[in-house]
């Protein structure tokens, strides 16, 4: 049985032109980390507020551990819901020390060793005697997370939990925190607009668009088989390419391409930037299955470079290693080295 289930939830804010949440259904298993992923205004916070009991749904129901928290005939107020939340309005008493905040949130009987373990997890040991009012935003966020986890709750509801944490700390914290949540069997429902955080931290993700579920599944499943162009673009960018499917292959402007699924007739394909390979074309002679291309733009992104190239009448984004010698105006050879993903929609 799922720990938490949302069934056909809808919410329109008073004065709202359109619903913030429309007919959303999802389930969270015990110990699972589920990301609500979406751009600004897609309904992530509204969904978390519904689960926390800070909003009442217009229709639909919310069930936690078999108990209906919200529905046509039920509404459990926020303070009686067996979950911990860290939303944007979360506050910390300015005068309390970091250690006291975490100690106060622990179940009775847990001692200072338990609190220190949590402080260490969130790299707060050096700050344990500091008053909360003197902390930076990122430090406060870590205290809020430690406090939420201290209670031993089975469900955490978190809005942008990693916002305000710098990249190094974020990567270390994400991995370590995930390990601890798994060991404790704590489930997390968290909102993020950051694809990297969702892919790294979540067991499953729910992609939201204008209050509705665009697609849900494991990060791998959604990344490898996006159903729509929106999903493909949101999860890491892509190239859209029309084609004509005949089984596991489609005829396209780039030649016959292998597909991730069966397709017949006109199809729209998503071809990831990493499914394409560029090599410098020094002698102007096309070899093998390579196509001629010209580099229009080069965007250096640290770990990789994104090239926009012109090829076969298309503008394509191709990802390459940071050491690639290609520059704007370079001639190149382009090869397709990965599979194209078949989208459900036929228009881009
Ligand atoms: N109190 C409110 N009154 C009216 N409309 C609201 C209210 N709060 C949010 N909305 C609207 O509901 C929709 C969903 O908002 P929500 O805060 O859930 O988005 P979000 O995905 O969390 O965005 P962000 O990433 O910017 O926080 C938006 O169109 C927003 O303008």
**13-22, 131-140, 161-170: least confident range:** 161-170
pLDDT > 70 in the chain, percent: 97
In the prediction, which pLDDT does 38 show? 96
| Helix, coil or strand: residue 296 | strand
In the prediction, which pLDDT does 111 show? 87
Query: Residue 347: is its pLDDT beyond 80?
Result: no
Residue 13 Cβ inside 6 Å of ligand 1? The answer reads yes
In the prediction, which pLDDT does 82 show? 95
Centre of ligand 1 to C-alpha 57, Å, is 14
Whether 343 is in a domain gets the answer no
Whether residue 279 sits in one domain with residue 262: no
H-helix segments, the chain? 44-52, 98-105, 112-121, 137-150, 167-184, 195-201, 219-224, 229-234
- Cα-Cα-Cα-Cα torsion 230, 232, 234, 235, nearest 10 degrees, comes to 160
Q: What is the DSSP letter of 4?
A: E
Whether residue 146 sits in one domain with residue 44: yes
Residue 80 Cβ inside 6 Å of ligand 1? The answer reads no
Pick the residue whose CA is nearest to atom 30 on ligand 1. Answer: 41
pLDDT: which is higher, 283 or 62:
62
DSSP 47-98: HHHHHHTSS--SEEEEEETTEEEEETTEE--GGGSS-EEE-TT----TTSBH
Rounded average pLDDT over 45-51:
98
Whether residue 186 sits in one domain with residue 236: no
Pick the residue whose CA is nearest to atom 11 on ligand 1. Answer: 20
In the prediction, which pLDDT does 285 show? 60
Residue 192 Cβ inside 6 Å of ligand 1? The answer reads no
Q: How confident is the model at residue 169 (pLDDT cuts 50, 70, 90)?
A: confident
Ramachandran region, residue 235 (left: φ > 0; alpha: ψ -120 to 50; beta: rest)? beta
Whether 345 is in a domain gets the answer no
Query: Residue 307: is its pLDDT beyond 70?
Result: yes
Query: Residue 103: is its pLDDT beyond 70?
Result: yes
Pick the residue whose CA is nearest to atom 28 on ligand 1. Answer: 41
Q: Which atom of ligand 1 is nearest to the CA of 15?
A: 4
Residue 16 Cβ inside 6 Å of ligand 1? The answer reads yes
In the prediction, which pLDDT does 273 show? 96
Q: How confident is the model at residue 194 (pLDDT cuts 50, 70, 90)?
A: very high
Instruction: Report the mean per-residue pLDDT for the chain.
Output: 93
Tens-place pLDDT, residues 62-99:
999 999 999 999 999 999 999 999 998 888 988 999 99
Rounded average pLDDT over 163-190:
87
Q: Which atom of ligand 1 is nearest to the CA of 88?
A: 27
- Cα-Cα-Cα-Cα torsion 128, 131, 135, 139, nearest 10 degrees, comes to 30
109: CATH: 3.40.50.300
CB atoms within 10 A of CB 167: 8
Q: Which atom of ligand 1 is nearest to the CA of 191?
A: 22
Q: How confident is the model at residue 21 (pLDDT cuts 50, 70, 90)?
A: very high
Whether residue 234 sits in one domain with residue 94: no
In the prediction, which pLDDT does 308 show? 97
Whether 248 is in a domain gets the answer yes
In the prediction, which pLDDT does 286 show? 56
Centre of ligand 1 to C-alpha 27, Å, is 22
Centre of ligand 1 to C-alpha 222, Å, is 25
Whether residue 119 sits in one domain with residue 29: yes
Residue 99 Cβ inside 6 Å of ligand 1? The answer reads no
Whether residue 279 sits in one domain with residue 264: no
Residue 20 Cβ inside 6 Å of ligand 1? The answer reads yes
Centre of ligand 1 to C-alpha 137, Å, is 22
Whether residue 327 sits in one domain with residue 186: no
Rounded average pLDDT over 216-241:
94
Ramachandran region, residue 139 (left: φ > 0; alpha: ψ -120 to 50; beta: rest)? alpha
Tokens linked to 35: 């990301």
User: What domain range is 234 assigned to?
Assistant: 229-271
In the prediction, which pLDDT does 231 show? 96
Q: Yes or no: say if 2 and 28 are a contact pair by the CB < 8 Å rule.
A: yes
Number of separate domains in the chain: 3
> Could you give the angle at which helices 167-184 and 112-121 cross, rounded to 10 degrees?
140
290: CATH: 2.40.50.100
Whether residue 218 sits in one domain with residue 235: no
Whether residue 250 sits in one domain with residue 214: no
Radius of gyration of the chain (CA): 24
> How many helices and strands in the chain, by DSSP H and E?
8, 19
Tokens linked to 287: 């070899």
Q: Yes or no: say if 187 and 156 are a contact pair by the CB < 8 Å rule.
A: yes
Residue with structure tokens 């881009």?
348
Q: Yes or no: say if 30 and 3 are a contact pair by the CB < 8 Å rule.
A: yes
Centre of ligand 1 to C-alpha 195, Å, is 19
Q: How confident is the model at residue 284 (pLDDT cuts 50, 70, 90)?
A: low
Whether residue 97 sits in one domain with residue 83: yes
In the prediction, which pLDDT does 176 show? 85
Nearest Cα residue to 38 out of 206, 237, 236: 206
Whether 348 is in a domain gets the answer no
Q: How confident is the model at residue 46 (pLDDT cuts 50, 70, 90)?
A: very high
What distance separates the 2 farthest-apart alpha carbons in the chain?
76
**Cβ within 8 Å of residue 127, ≥6 positions away:** 98, 119, 135, 139
Q: How confident is the model at residue 175 (pLDDT cuts 50, 70, 90)?
A: confident
Whether 344 is in a domain gets the answer no
Q: Yes or no: say if 35 and 206 are a contact pair by the CB < 8 Å rule.
A: yes
Residue 88 Cβ inside 6 Å of ligand 1? The answer reads no
Query: Residue 167: is its pLDDT beyond 90?
Result: no
Whether residue 267 sits in one domain with residue 166: no
Q: Is the dihedral of CA 92, 78, 207, 58 positive or negative?
A: negative
Residue 130 Cβ inside 6 Å of ligand 1? The answer reads no
Residue 41 Cβ inside 6 Å of ligand 1? The answer reads yes
Q: For a substitution probing ligand 1, which of 37, 41, 88 has the most ligand atoms within 8 Å of its CB?
A: 41
pLDDT: which is higher, 347 or 166:
166
Residue 45 Cβ inside 6 Å of ligand 1? The answer reads yes
Query: Residue 346: is its pLDDT beyond 90?
Result: no
Nearest Cα residue to 305 out of 291, 292, 331, 323: 323
**99-103, 282-286, 306-310: least confident range:** 282-286
Whether residue 197 sits in one domain with residue 236: no
């Amino acid at each position: 049985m799922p720990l938490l289930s949302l069934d056909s939830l809808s919410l329109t804010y008073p004065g709202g032109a359109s619903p913030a949440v429309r007919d959303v259904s999802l389930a969270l298993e015990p110990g699972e980390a589920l990301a609500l992923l979406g751009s600004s205004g897609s309904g992530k916070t509204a969904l978390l507020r519904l689960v926390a009991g800070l909003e009442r749904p217009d229709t639909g129901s919310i069930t936690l551990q078999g108990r209906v928290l919200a529905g046509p005939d039920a509404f459990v107020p926020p303070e009686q819901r067996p979950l911990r939340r860290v939303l944007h309005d979360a506050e910390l008493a300015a005068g309390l020390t970091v250690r006291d905040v975490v100690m106060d949130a622990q179940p009775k009987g847990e001692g200072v060793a338990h609190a220190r373990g949590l402080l260490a997890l969130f790299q707060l040991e050096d700050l344990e005697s500091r008053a909360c009012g003197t902390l930076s935003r990122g430090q406060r966020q870590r205290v809020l997370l430690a406090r939420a986890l201290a209670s031993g709750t089975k469900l955490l509801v978190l809005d942008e939990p990693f916002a305000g944490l710098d990249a190094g700390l974020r990567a270390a914290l994400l991995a370590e925190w995930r390990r601890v949540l798994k060991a404790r069997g704590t489930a997390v429902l968290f909102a993020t607009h950051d694809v990297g955080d969702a892919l790294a931290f979540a067991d499953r993700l729910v992609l939201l668009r204008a209050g509705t579920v665009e697609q849900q599944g494991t990060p791998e499943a959604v990344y490898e088989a996006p159903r729509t162009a929106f999903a493909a673009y949101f999860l890491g960018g892509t190239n859209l390419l029309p084609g004509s499917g005949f089984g596991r292959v489609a005829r396209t402007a780039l030649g016959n391409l292998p597909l991730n699924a069966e397709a017949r007739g006109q199809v729209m394909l998503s071809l990831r930037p990493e499914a394409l390979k560029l090599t410098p074309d020094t002698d102007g002679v096309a070899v093998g299955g390579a196509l001629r291309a010209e580099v229009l733009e080069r965007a250096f992104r640290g770990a990789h470079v994104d090239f926009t190239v012109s090829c076969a009448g298309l503008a394509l984004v191709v990802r390459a290693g940071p050491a690639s010698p290609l520059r704007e105006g370079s001639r190149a050879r382009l090869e397709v080295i990965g599979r194209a993903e078949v989208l459900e929609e036929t228009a881009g």
